[in-house]
Amino acid sequence: MNKILSMLFVVCITGCSSNSNKFENCADSMFMLTNTLMQKRMPTEAKSSDEIVEFNANSYEDKKKYQFYVALIEICKLEHSKDPEKFNSNYE
């Protein structure tokens, strides 16, 4: 019985972290794309490439402290809910 509970726990944790990684990959991609667009439209507001790389190097938990990043995650969750298979293949 303990082995079964342990296996279920591992499966749940693995599944949840897998989606978290995909949402992080998606949000990171959207963050970079948004900044690229800002460089063209509002160059003074855009971040440098080094600043983007530095931000994306932070842990997922640290990045989620920023409201803009959390908004990107929500957009990614919406994208996932519309077509999970496509989303999963895009952000593996």
Which region, left, alpha or beta, applies to residue 23 given φ > 0 means left and ψ of -120 to 50 means alpha? alpha
Q: Rounded to two decimals, what is the model's pTM?
A: 0.74
3-state secondary structure of 75: helix
Provide the token pair at 44.
């003074």
Residues 78-92 pLDDT 10s: 999 999 999 999 998
Residues 3-51 pLDDT 10s: 443 333 333 333 444 678 999 999 999 999 999 999 999 989 888 889 9
pLDDT of residue 85: 95
54 or 9: whose pLDDT is higher? Answer: 54
Domain locations along the chain: 18-90
